[in-house]
Amino acid sequence: MTFELAELVASRQARISVWFGGLDGSPWLARDADLVHHPASTVKLPLFVALHRAADAGELDLDEKIAVQDRLPSVVPGRTYVTTHDYDQDDAVWDRLGSAASLRWLAERAIIRSSNLATNLLIDRVGIDAVNAVYDDLGTPTSRLARGIQDSPGGDAGLDSTATAADLAAVLRGVATRTAAASTACEQIEAVLARCEDNDGLPAGLPDGTYVAHKPGWIDHVCHDVGIVRPEHEAPFVLAVMTGAPLPEAAGFRLVADVAALCWRHRHRLAAAAGHVSA
Protein backbone atom coordinates (compact mmCIF):
# COMPACT_ATOMS: atom_id res chain seq x y z
CA MET A 1 0.00 0.00 0.00
CA THR A 2 2.93 2.34 0.64
CA PHE A 3 3.90 2.00 -3.03
CA GLU A 4 0.31 2.68 -4.15
CA LEU A 5 0.15 5.84 -2.05
CA ALA A 6 3.50 6.96 -3.45
CA GLU A 7 2.08 6.50 -6.95
CA LEU A 8 -0.88 8.74 -6.08
CA VAL A 9 1.49 11.37 -4.71
CA ALA A 10 3.57 11.31 -7.89
CA SER A 11 0.70 11.15 -10.38
CA ARG A 12 -1.32 13.96 -8.73
CA GLN A 13 1.66 16.07 -7.62
CA ALA A 14 0.09 15.87 -4.18
CA ARG A 15 0.83 16.03 -0.50
CA ILE A 16 -1.17 13.26 1.16
CA SER A 17 -1.56 12.84 4.91
CA VAL A 18 -3.43 9.85 6.35
CA TRP A 19 -4.37 8.71 9.83
CA PHE A 20 -6.21 5.39 9.70
CA GLY A 21 -6.86 3.30 12.77
CA GLY A 22 -9.00 2.01 15.57
CA LEU A 23 -11.08 3.87 18.09
CA ASP A 24 -8.52 2.95 20.76
CA GLY A 25 -6.05 5.33 19.12
CA SER A 26 -3.83 2.67 17.60
CA PRO A 27 -2.82 3.72 14.07
CA TRP A 28 -3.07 1.07 11.39
CA LEU A 29 -1.52 3.51 8.95
CA ALA A 30 -0.04 6.93 9.64
CA ARG A 31 1.46 8.67 6.64
CA ASP A 32 2.64 12.24 7.22
CA ALA A 33 -0.18 12.38 9.76
CA ASP A 34 1.47 15.25 11.65
CA LEU A 35 2.00 17.37 8.54
CA VAL A 36 0.29 20.74 8.97
CA HIS A 37 -2.41 21.62 6.42
CA HIS A 38 -4.90 24.42 5.96
CA PRO A 39 -8.00 22.84 7.54
CA ALA A 40 -10.56 24.21 5.07
CA SER A 41 -14.01 23.19 6.32
CA THR A 42 -12.77 20.39 8.58
CA VAL A 43 -12.46 23.16 11.18
CA LYS A 44 -16.21 22.87 11.54
CA LEU A 45 -15.72 19.53 13.32
CA PRO A 46 -14.05 20.87 16.51
CA LEU A 47 -16.37 23.89 16.36
CA PHE A 48 -19.36 21.53 16.50
CA VAL A 49 -17.83 19.75 19.49
CA ALA A 50 -17.13 23.08 21.23
CA LEU A 51 -20.74 24.15 20.74
CA HIS A 52 -22.07 21.00 22.41
CA ARG A 53 -19.55 21.26 25.23
CA ALA A 54 -20.72 24.81 25.91
CA ALA A 55 -24.33 23.58 25.96
CA ASP A 56 -23.37 20.76 28.36
CA ALA A 57 -21.74 23.35 30.64
CA GLY A 58 -24.87 25.50 30.66
CA GLU A 59 -23.10 28.34 28.84
CA LEU A 60 -25.67 28.37 26.05
CA ASP A 61 -28.84 26.69 24.88
CA LEU A 62 -28.73 24.96 21.50
CA ASP A 63 -32.25 26.23 20.84
CA GLU A 64 -31.18 29.84 21.49
CA LYS A 65 -31.79 32.01 18.45
CA ILE A 66 -29.23 34.51 17.22
CA ALA A 67 -29.32 37.14 14.48
CA VAL A 68 -28.22 35.94 11.05
CA GLN A 69 -25.87 38.65 9.81
CA ASP A 70 -22.99 38.65 7.38
CA ARG A 71 -20.83 41.28 9.12
CA LEU A 72 -19.09 40.09 12.29
CA PRO A 73 -16.25 41.20 14.56
CA SER A 74 -12.80 40.25 13.30
CA VAL A 75 -10.27 38.53 15.52
CA VAL A 76 -8.36 41.79 15.11
CA PRO A 77 -9.73 44.18 17.76
CA GLY A 78 -11.83 47.00 16.37
CA ARG A 79 -12.17 45.46 12.91
CA THR A 80 -15.01 43.59 11.21
CA TYR A 81 -15.28 41.25 8.25
CA VAL A 82 -18.01 40.15 5.88
CA THR A 83 -18.99 36.62 4.87
CA THR A 84 -19.99 36.60 1.20
CA HIS A 85 -22.70 34.51 -0.43
CA ASP A 86 -20.49 33.63 -3.40
CA TYR A 87 -18.03 31.90 -1.03
CA ASP A 88 -20.72 29.66 0.45
CA GLN A 89 -22.72 26.70 -0.78
CA ASP A 90 -25.76 26.72 1.48
CA ASP A 91 -28.53 29.04 0.40
CA ALA A 92 -30.73 28.03 3.33
CA VAL A 93 -28.78 30.11 5.83
CA TRP A 94 -28.61 33.09 3.48
CA ASP A 95 -32.37 32.93 3.10
CA ARG A 96 -32.55 33.86 6.80
CA LEU A 97 -30.22 36.86 6.53
CA GLY A 98 -31.69 39.66 8.63
CA SER A 99 -33.79 37.29 10.71
CA ALA A 100 -32.81 34.74 13.36
CA ALA A 101 -31.91 31.06 13.59
CA SER A 102 -31.20 28.62 16.41
CA LEU A 103 -27.66 27.52 17.24
CA ARG A 104 -28.74 23.90 16.71
CA TRP A 105 -29.98 24.58 13.19
CA LEU A 106 -26.92 26.65 12.29
CA ALA A 107 -24.65 23.86 13.52
CA GLU A 108 -26.48 21.33 11.37
CA ARG A 109 -26.12 23.56 8.31
CA ALA A 110 -22.41 24.04 9.02
CA ILE A 111 -21.90 20.27 8.93
CA ILE A 112 -24.51 18.94 6.51
CA ARG A 113 -24.06 21.65 3.84
CA SER A 114 -20.82 23.20 5.12
CA SER A 115 -22.36 26.65 5.48
CA ASN A 116 -19.65 29.27 5.98
CA LEU A 117 -22.12 31.87 7.20
CA ALA A 118 -23.43 29.48 9.85
CA THR A 119 -19.87 28.62 10.82
CA ASN A 120 -18.86 32.23 11.35
CA LEU A 121 -21.97 32.94 13.39
CA LEU A 122 -21.14 29.96 15.62
CA ILE A 123 -17.51 31.02 16.00
CA ASP A 124 -18.72 34.45 17.07
CA ARG A 125 -21.10 32.92 19.63
CA VAL A 126 -18.86 30.17 21.03
CA GLY A 127 -15.48 31.84 20.72
CA ILE A 128 -12.18 30.80 19.21
CA ASP A 129 -10.75 29.83 22.61
CA ALA A 130 -13.52 27.27 23.12
CA VAL A 131 -12.69 25.58 19.83
CA ASN A 132 -8.98 25.47 20.63
CA ALA A 133 -9.82 24.05 24.07
CA VAL A 134 -11.28 21.03 22.27
CA TYR A 135 -7.95 20.50 20.56
CA ASP A 136 -6.05 21.03 23.81
CA ASP A 137 -8.21 18.67 25.85
CA LEU A 138 -7.81 15.93 23.25
CA GLY A 139 -4.03 16.34 23.18
CA THR A 140 -3.84 17.91 19.74
CA PRO A 141 -2.24 21.35 20.22
CA THR A 142 -0.78 21.54 16.69
CA SER A 143 -4.21 22.24 15.22
CA ARG A 144 -5.65 25.70 15.83
CA LEU A 145 -8.60 27.82 14.87
CA ALA A 146 -7.15 31.30 14.33
CA ARG A 147 -10.02 33.25 12.75
CA GLY A 148 -13.37 33.03 11.06
CA ILE A 149 -13.75 32.13 7.41
CA GLN A 150 -13.07 35.23 5.26
CA ASP A 151 -11.81 37.21 8.25
CA SER A 152 -9.51 39.27 6.03
CA PRO A 153 -8.13 41.51 8.78
CA GLY A 154 -7.11 38.37 10.65
CA GLY A 155 -5.52 36.92 7.54
CA ASP A 156 -3.66 40.15 6.87
CA ALA A 157 -2.33 39.94 10.41
CA GLY A 158 -0.85 36.52 9.63
CA LEU A 159 -3.44 34.54 11.58
CA ASP A 160 -4.24 31.28 9.80
CA SER A 161 -5.92 28.14 11.05
CA THR A 162 -4.05 24.82 10.96
CA ALA A 163 -4.86 21.12 11.22
CA THR A 164 -3.25 17.72 10.91
CA ALA A 165 -4.73 14.36 10.01
CA ALA A 166 -3.63 12.93 13.36
CA ASP A 167 -5.31 15.74 15.30
CA LEU A 168 -8.61 15.57 13.43
CA ALA A 169 -8.58 11.79 13.86
CA ALA A 170 -8.23 12.33 17.61
CA VAL A 171 -11.27 14.62 17.62
CA LEU A 172 -13.25 11.99 15.71
CA ARG A 173 -12.15 9.25 18.11
CA GLY A 174 -13.36 11.43 20.97
CA VAL A 175 -16.75 11.71 19.29
CA ALA A 176 -16.90 7.99 18.43
CA THR A 177 -15.96 6.89 21.97
CA ARG A 178 -18.27 9.51 23.52
CA THR A 179 -15.45 11.26 25.37
CA ALA A 180 -15.04 14.54 23.41
CA ALA A 181 -18.17 15.86 25.12
CA ALA A 182 -21.03 14.36 27.12
CA SER A 183 -22.06 10.96 25.77
CA THR A 184 -25.46 12.15 24.53
CA ALA A 185 -23.86 15.16 22.88
CA CYS A 186 -21.34 12.94 21.08
CA GLU A 187 -24.16 10.76 19.83
CA GLN A 188 -25.89 13.85 18.45
CA ILE A 189 -22.67 15.13 16.87
CA GLU A 190 -22.03 11.83 15.11
CA ALA A 191 -25.64 11.62 13.93
CA VAL A 192 -25.31 15.01 12.22
CA LEU A 193 -21.92 14.08 10.71
CA ALA A 194 -23.60 10.98 9.25
CA ARG A 195 -26.07 13.27 7.44
CA CYS A 196 -23.35 15.18 5.57
CA GLU A 197 -24.48 15.71 1.98
CA ASP A 198 -21.03 16.26 0.44
CA ASN A 199 -20.13 12.65 -0.25
CA ASP A 200 -17.52 12.73 -3.02
CA GLY A 201 -14.59 12.07 -0.66
CA LEU A 202 -14.46 9.21 1.84
CA PRO A 203 -17.92 7.76 1.04
CA ALA A 204 -17.06 7.56 -2.68
CA GLY A 205 -14.04 5.38 -1.86
CA LEU A 206 -15.94 2.98 0.39
CA PRO A 207 -18.47 0.31 -0.62
CA ASP A 208 -21.97 1.61 -1.25
CA GLY A 209 -24.02 1.77 1.92
CA THR A 210 -21.06 1.86 4.30
CA TYR A 211 -21.83 4.00 7.35
CA VAL A 212 -19.57 7.03 7.52
CA ALA A 213 -20.00 10.10 9.73
CA HIS A 214 -17.67 12.67 8.22
CA LYS A 215 -16.70 16.25 7.49
CA PRO A 216 -15.00 17.15 4.19
CA GLY A 217 -13.30 20.41 3.35
CA TRP A 218 -12.12 22.07 0.16
CA ILE A 219 -10.49 25.29 -0.94
CA ASP A 220 -8.22 25.91 -3.91
CA HIS A 221 -5.54 23.19 -4.06
CA VAL A 222 -6.65 21.72 -0.71
CA CYS A 223 -9.06 18.79 -0.30
CA HIS A 224 -9.75 16.75 2.85
CA ASP A 225 -12.26 14.37 4.34
CA VAL A 226 -12.23 12.92 7.86
CA GLY A 227 -14.70 10.48 9.30
CA ILE A 228 -15.86 7.70 11.57
CA VAL A 229 -16.58 4.48 9.66
CA ARG A 230 -18.71 1.70 11.15
CA PRO A 231 -18.79 -1.24 8.73
CA GLU A 232 -21.28 -4.02 9.34
CA HIS A 233 -19.83 -6.96 11.30
CA GLU A 234 -16.44 -5.26 11.67
CA ALA A 235 -14.78 -3.02 14.19
CA PRO A 236 -15.31 0.70 13.59
CA PHE A 237 -12.40 2.88 12.61
CA VAL A 238 -11.41 6.47 11.95
CA LEU A 239 -10.00 7.63 8.63
CA ALA A 240 -8.59 11.13 8.15
CA VAL A 241 -7.28 12.06 4.70
CA MET A 242 -5.80 15.50 4.04
CA THR A 243 -4.37 16.48 0.67
CA GLY A 244 -2.80 19.39 -1.11
CA ALA A 245 -2.59 19.27 -4.89
CA PRO A 246 -3.04 21.54 -7.93
CA LEU A 247 -6.38 19.94 -8.78
CA PRO A 248 -9.91 21.22 -9.36
CA GLU A 249 -12.48 20.35 -6.71
CA ALA A 250 -13.84 17.18 -8.35
CA ALA A 251 -10.37 15.78 -8.98
CA GLY A 252 -9.33 16.68 -5.44
CA PHE A 253 -12.18 14.67 -3.97
CA ARG A 254 -11.41 11.84 -6.38
CA LEU A 255 -7.93 11.73 -4.88
CA VAL A 256 -9.37 11.54 -1.37
CA ALA A 257 -11.73 8.77 -2.51
CA ASP A 258 -8.82 6.85 -4.06
CA VAL A 259 -6.93 7.01 -0.77
CA ALA A 260 -10.04 5.84 1.11
CA ALA A 261 -10.42 2.95 -1.32
CA LEU A 262 -6.81 1.89 -0.70
CA CYS A 263 -7.30 1.99 3.04
CA TRP A 264 -10.49 -0.06 2.77
CA ARG A 265 -8.85 -2.64 0.52
CA HIS A 266 -5.92 -3.13 2.87
CA ARG A 267 -7.73 -2.63 6.19
CA HIS A 268 -7.52 -6.21 7.47
CA ARG A 269 -3.81 -6.55 6.73
CA LEU A 270 -3.01 -3.15 8.20
CA ALA A 271 -5.05 -3.80 11.34
CA ALA A 272 -3.46 -7.23 11.81
CA ALA A 273 0.03 -5.78 11.40
CA ALA A 274 -0.83 -3.27 14.15
CA GLY A 275 -1.96 -6.12 16.39
CA HIS A 276 -5.63 -5.32 16.10
CA VAL A 277 -8.40 -7.82 15.32
CA SER A 278 -10.62 -6.00 12.82
CA ALA A 279 -13.46 -8.48 12.48
Residue 251's alpha-carbon distances to 18, 137, 172, 248, 256, in angstroms, are 18, 35, 25, 5, 9
- Domain map (residue ranges) of the chain: 1-37+164-279, 43-162
Q: What is the pLDDT of residue 196?
A: 98
Residue 169 CA to residue 239 CA, distance in Å, equals 7
Quick check: 33 and 164 in contact, CB under 8 A? yes
Q: Which residues of the chain have pLDDT under 70?
A: 276-279
Mean pLDDT of the chain: 96
Q: What is the pLDDT of residue 276?
A: 60
Q: What is the pTM assigned to this prediction?
A: 0.96
Residue 273 CA to residue 136 CA, distance in Å, equals 30
Q: What is the pLDDT of residue 54?
A: 98
CATH code of 43-162, in short, is: 3.40.710.10
Quick check: 114 and 41 in contact, CB under 8 A? yes
Residue 225's alpha-carbon distances to 108, 172, 214, 260, in angstroms, are 17, 12, 7, 9
Burial class (CB within 10 angstroms; exposed 0-12, middle 13-18, buried 19+) of 277: exposed
**Helix locations, the chain, DSSP H:** 2-12, 44-56, 91-94, 103-112, 116-126, 128-137, 152-156, 165-176, 183-193, 202-205, 249-265, 267-273
- For domain 1-37+164-279, give the CATH superfamily: DD-peptidase/beta-lactamase superfamily (3.40.710.10)
For residue 185, what are the contacts with CB-CB under 8 A and spacing of at least 6?
52, 53, 55, 56
- Farthest CA pair distance, the chain: 56
Intrachain domains 1-37+164-279 and 43-162 with the same fold:
yes
Q: What is the DSSP string of 216-269?
A: EEEETTEEEEEEEEE-TTS--EEEEEEEE-S--HHHHHHHHHHHHHHHHHTHHH
